[in-house]
Amino acid sequence: MSYSNPSKPKNLFTKTTCPYCGVGCGVLAHTDDYGVVTVTGDTEHPANLGRLCSKGTALGETVYLDERLLYPEILGEQVSWEQALATVAGRFSKIIAAHGADAVALYVSGQLLTEDYYVANKLMKGFVGSSNIDTNSRLCMSSVVAGYKRAFGEDIVPGCYEDLERAKLIVLVGSNTAWCHPVLYQRIVDTKNNNPDLQIVNIDPRKTQTSSVADLHLAIRPGTDSVLFNGLLVWLETAGEHNAMYTRNFTRGMQAALDSAKNSAASIEIVAEKCGLPANDVEAFFRLFARTERTVTAFSQGINQSSSGVDKINSIINCHLYTGRIGRPGMGPFSLTGQPNAMGGREVGGLANQLAAHMEIHNETHRQRVKRFWNSPVIAKTEGLKAVDLFNAIDEGKIKAVWIIASNPIVSLPEADKVRSALEKCELVIVSDCVRETDTVKLAHIRLPATTWGEKDGTITNSERCISRQRSFLQPPGLAKPDWWIVTEVARKMGFTDAFPYTSPVEIFREHARLSGFENENERLFNIDALADITSSQYNALTPIQWPVTRQSPNGTARLLSAARFSTTDKKANFIAIEPRLPANACSTDYPFILNTGRVRDQWHTMTRTGMSPRLSAHTIESYVEIHPDDAHRHAINDFEIVEITNTLGKSIYVRAQFSDKQQPGSIFVPIHWNQQFSSQARVGSLIKAVLDPISGQPEFKHSVAKIRPWHANWYGFLISRHKPALKYASYWARSRGKGFWRYEVAGQVNPEDWSEHARTLLGRVGEQENWIEFYDKARFHYRAARIVNDRLDACIFIYPSNALPPRDWLISLFQKGTITPEERASLLTGTPPADQQDYGRIVCACFNIGEKLITQTIRANSLRTTDEIGQILKAGTNCGSCKPELSEYLKTIWGH
Ligand SMILES: Nc1nc2c(c(=O)[nH]1)N[C@H]1C(S)=C(S)[C@@H](COP(=O)(O)OP(=O)(O)OC[C@H]3O[C@@H](n4cnc5c(=O)[nH]c(N)nc54)[C@H](O)[C@@H]3O)O[C@H]1N2
Ligand SMILES: Nc1nc2c(c(=O)[nH]1)N[C@H]1C(S)=C(S)[C@@H](COP(=O)(O)OP(=O)(O)OC[C@H]3O[C@@H](n4cnc5c(=O)[nH]c(N)nc54)[C@H](O)[C@@H]3O)O[C@H]1N2
Ligand code: SF4
Ligand SMILES: [Mo]
């Protein structure tokens, strides 16, 4: 199935923004006559100036219709929109009438557009009258919101991307920027290349691709960041690096913060001891920070996703306040946002403890003001339930209906199995998604087909407060509808017709902009009042603009807090006294490992989009656990072996061991992406204990405890097929998409009675024009077979008694060929290429399909010393540049420096 786009002129570009990370890159999308979408970087967008990472570059490959949810469904039956909307509205209204407003809930997402988010929040807080609307931003940005609010009185990111280029020191804390904010990383690397004086410090328990650009990597003991920053505060005082004018005039609470810091981190030695770092390195970092006025401290989930996340953030902000390094070029505490519209969600008040437009639920004046503005019958009185508590309330039956929009909580929440059983028990589960088979959509009673990137229109706000348009360039498939429309229609059917008159996103945007300026009187810095009268054509033509956008600053504002007037009552910033707390889960003899989780370069969250791209899927084909070789040996684990990881609740996952000395002994790392659609059991969310930050409610995703042991199967194998097979007998499987084929890594404990029969069932029977070649060595238990249709390789399967299977890459290359030669056919079942062909190894450069072996051979053969030299010969790294950190690693490994 492909898009049909009769109304759109072909060969024109649409300017829009990437739907992935918070960098918020501008892209140009182009659809050719065959509906093929290509995407390039927008040179005019200030976030990326034309650059894109591997995910942005491969966007065209993720615009697919095969697995889309195309029609509304009730209990698996296709229904009309009228029926679906009336059912949702009717059941919601009934439950509210019977059990009160708090018996229903919405769980939304930082991937919604601002307009979608605004109407969802308005419906719940102003019309249903409950704050039980929370969002996956609880798992992502809620600690930052709380940290900024405590310090500045409002959720304000003071700086902008340009600060990273104007800084002399960049501290990257708990951020794998190279993989998670790759275009910012490229901007940092370019700056460093042009200005070798720029110093970069990376603070992360494990060494990552980001560490490759760092002058200093501090492999901090997990969870101890506030000790380090408390220690820094003490050191700054000792070193006389105090901006006394700033702290006296613009802050309060400094002495208490200093006193607390001295209690926990009085000296370099204490800090080094508590943080597990060499004292010299701690001192080097402190000295660097002390002497460099232009310092940006950029942080992400290694800071936020912690049971003391808010404290970690304030310990960082304290150091910036103490030195007065906020609001000026090249300096400031800078939270890198995760999702494309993490910021937009915060602006509309999408979290359960916010109201709207940076107003507070617990503030009576704010509540009455918003009620007046919305002309709403009610207004939520108290904070609603935060994500984890919200799903607990579903589990307990207190919430009887939940509507999940653009999130996959069965994968992404902690104690994910409990989330699943809560939804299984829930009276009414409604899910709006664009994909038909996600772990969460599968459980929905009512499925609502949403339009997605490329089809929808609206705005998003990136990490630097820059509002950009997402524009549609594809016709929605089937009956899919934009999220704002679905919510609006439900609201209307619940009887709120007058308050939800919207017929297009611009009307919602205008109202949102008006609310931001409503009775504002400079009380709230979030203000885009100057956009309140934007016309439809101005909205269509809107160029990226940073908030505030007011009558005084109609062209937006790059930096905030430059005048050091904060949003607190007395306009002063707050130092917060921090008493560091260790992570709640501690290791024990039985559970000796700290389980850290995060992202890989080419996958996005639960893979509903990136998992469909062959290019992106080639980089990491199955889930894994990164483990230090010493730990592995101690636990009798071999490299590439399948292991079982178990937590204290007795939950297990099965993933491939990957040795890495970049991992601290005692810590393991598992990526978050693999779920039941892509693996037998690698959903790491089921292992995470729901330990929360007491202020923000953000889960401690980076610090669970676990044990690990080898998992032995009777047989191991792989299967590459142009058709999706229905797997049987495989207790372990992981699937990934290639160009024109699916690839499965499999292992099993039960043997089929007849391998040959089983393989034929899996791969398809032999018919006319079809050819089956097979090899079975009973003694060694090697089974190999291939199916060839019209001289084209259609499928192959390799089963061995151990993991020592042939490499897959050459076999995969045969799937790109129209016909295979007799030589290739003869070599096929050996898994090794004929003499004149080569196996190029695992794909590293996703843009040009360049494999690891080819890269290392070329480096050696040509004595290459730089990534640019590799690029000149192989092209690897010359397009999006996302693989450059890995190319540097090969150079380092080969040449030793
Ligand atoms: N490729 C890709 N990019 C993405 C995403 C994606 O799914 N894939 N998702 C986007 C989203 S929503 C988000 S939120 C961001 C996340 O972006 P990041 O936060 O950069 O990514 P993570 O891999 O979650 O974690 C970052 C690092 O925190 C480290 N860490 C763990 N514990 C500690 C600690 O105690 N202290 C310190 N200092 N560090 C610690 C981990 O080792 C890890 O390397 O990425 C965004 N970009
Ligand atoms: N262990 C562990 N867990 C984590 C994290 C971690 O570091 N470790 N990180 C957490 C973080 S920071 C985040 S942000 C979350 C992300 O977790 P989720 O939000 O659960 O992940 P996604 O896969 O992005 O889910 C988005 C869903 O929305 C659908 N979708 C896409 N576009 C649209 C649209 O326009 N409309 C609608 N209605 N649906 C759409 C997609 O198909 C997909 O099903 O994971 C969190 N979970
Ligand atoms: S850095 Fe990559 S994923 Fe993030 S917005 Fe830019 S192109 Fe998209
Ligand atoms: Mo996130």
pLDDT tens track for 801-814: 998 898 888 899 89
DSSP, residue by residue, 612-678? G-HHHHTT--S-EEEE-HHHHHHTT--TT-EEEEEETTS-EEEEEEEE-TTSPTTEEEEES---TTT
- Tell how far the Cα of 455 is from the centroid of ligand 4, in angstroms: 23
Which residue in 740, 698, 398, 368 sits closest to 518, CA to CA? 368
Residue nearest ligand 2's atom 32 by CA:
452
What is the arithmetic mean of pLDDT over 870-879? 90
- Tell how far the Cα of 176 is from the centroid of ligand 1, in angstroms: 5
Q: How confident is residue 760, by pLDDT bands cut at 50, 70 and 90? A: confident
On average, the pLDDT of the chain sits at 94
How far apart, in whole angstroms, are the C-alpha atoms of residue 263 and residue 421?
44
The neighbouring-strand residues paired with 461 are: 467
Q: Is 115 a residue whose pLDDT tops 60?
A: yes
How far apart, in whole angstroms, are the C-alpha atoms of residue 107 and residue 153?
26
In eight-state DSSP terms, residue 190 is H
For the chain, the residue count is 897
How far is the CA of 380 from the CAs of 114, 115, 122, 352, in angstroms? Answer: 20, 20, 10, 10
Which residue in 601, 610, 453, 474 sits closest to 18, CA to CA? 453
| Range in 5-19, 194-208, 282-296 with the lowest mean pLDDT | 5-19
Tokens of 184: 């910012």
CB 620 within 8 A of CB 886: no
Which residue in 563, 480, 485, 568 sits closest to 523, CA to CA? 568
How far apart, in whole angstroms, are the C-alpha atoms of residue 210 and residue 448?
39
pLDDT tens digits for range 522-551: 899 999 999 999 999 999 999 999 999 999
Q: Is the peptide bond before 182 cis (omega within 30 degrees of 0)?
A: no
Tokens of 482: 């934009």
CB 54 within 8 A of CB 186: no
- Tell how far the Cα of 307 is from the centroid of ligand 1, in angstroms: 16
How far apart, in whole angstroms, are the C-alpha atoms of residue 768 and residue 747?
31
CB atoms near residue 772 (< 10 Å): 18
Phi, psi angles (nearest 5°) of residue 431: -130, 125
- Tell how far the Cα of 187 is from the centroid of ligand 3, in angstroms: 12
How far apart, in whole angstroms, are the C-alpha atoms of residue 556 and residue 9?
33
Confidence (pLDDT) at 23: 98
The finding on whether 453 has its CB within 6 A of some atom of ligand 3 is no
State which residues have CB under 5 angstroms from ligand 4, the bound ion: 140, 338
Q: Is 726 a residue whose pLDDT tops 90?
A: no
CB atoms near residue 649 (< 10 Å): 14
CB 604 within 8 A of CB 19: no
Q: Is 8 a residue whose pLDDT tops 70?
A: no
pLDDT tens digits for range 22-78: 999 999 999 888 888 999 999 999 999 999 999 999 999 998 888 899 999 999 999
Task: Name residues contacting ligand 2 (CB within 6 A).
Answer: 109-111, 136, 139-140, 301, 305, 338-339, 405-409, 411-412, 432-435, 438, 450, 452, 456, 483, 597-598, 605-606, 608, 672, 684-685, 688, 701
Which residue in 83, 66, 22, 85 sits closest to 432, CA to CA? 85
Q: 3-state class of 50 per DSSP?
A: coil
Burial class (CB in 10 A: 0-12, 13-18, 19+), 778: exposed
- Per DSSP, helices labelled H in 167-292 are 177-180, 182-194, 225-238, 244-250, 254-265, 268-275, 279-291
Q: 3-state class of 59 per DSSP?
A: helix
- Tell how far the Cα of 364 is from the centroid of ligand 4, in angstroms: 31
Confidence (pLDDT) at 767: 62
The torsion of the CA quartet 743, 748, 751, 756, rounded to 10 degrees, works out to 10
How far apart, in whole angstroms, are the C-alpha atoms of residue 454 and residue 61?
12
Q: Is 502 a residue whose pLDDT tops 60?
A: yes
Strands 199-203 and 458-461: unpaired
pLDDT tens digits for range 384-439: 999 999 999 999 999 999 999 999 999 999 999 999 999 999 999 999 999 999 99
How far apart, in whole angstroms, are the C-alpha atoms of residue 259 and residue 116?
46
How far apart, in whole angstroms, are the C-alpha atoms of residue 470 and residue 461?
10
Residue nearest ligand 2's atom 34 by CA:
452
Per-residue HEC secondary structure of 571-618 comes to CCEECCCCCCCCCCCCCCCCCCEEEEEECCCCCCCCCCCHHHCHHHHC
Which residue in 562, 534, 409, 379 sits closest to 467, CA to CA? 534
Q: Is 786 a residue whose pLDDT tops 90?
A: yes
CB atoms near residue 574 (< 10 Å): 21
- Tell how far the Cα of 188 is from the centroid of ligand 3, in angstroms: 15
Residue type at position 35: G
- Tell how far the Cα of 363 is from the centroid of ligand 1, in angstroms: 34
Q: Is 867 a residue whose pLDDT tops 60?
A: yes
How far apart, in whole angstroms, are the C-alpha atoms of residue 579 and residue 258?
11
Instruction: Give the H or E element holding residue 15.
Output: strand 13-17
CB 203 within 8 A of CB 220: yes
Residue nearest ligand 2's atom 47 by CA:
412
Tokens of 45: 């967008």
DSSP, residue by residue, 390-450? HHHHHHTTS--EEEEES--HHHHSSSHHHHHHHHHH-SEEEEEESBS--TTGGG-SEEEEB
What is the arithmetic mean of pLDDT over 240-256? 97
Closest-approaching ligand to the CA atom of 136: 2
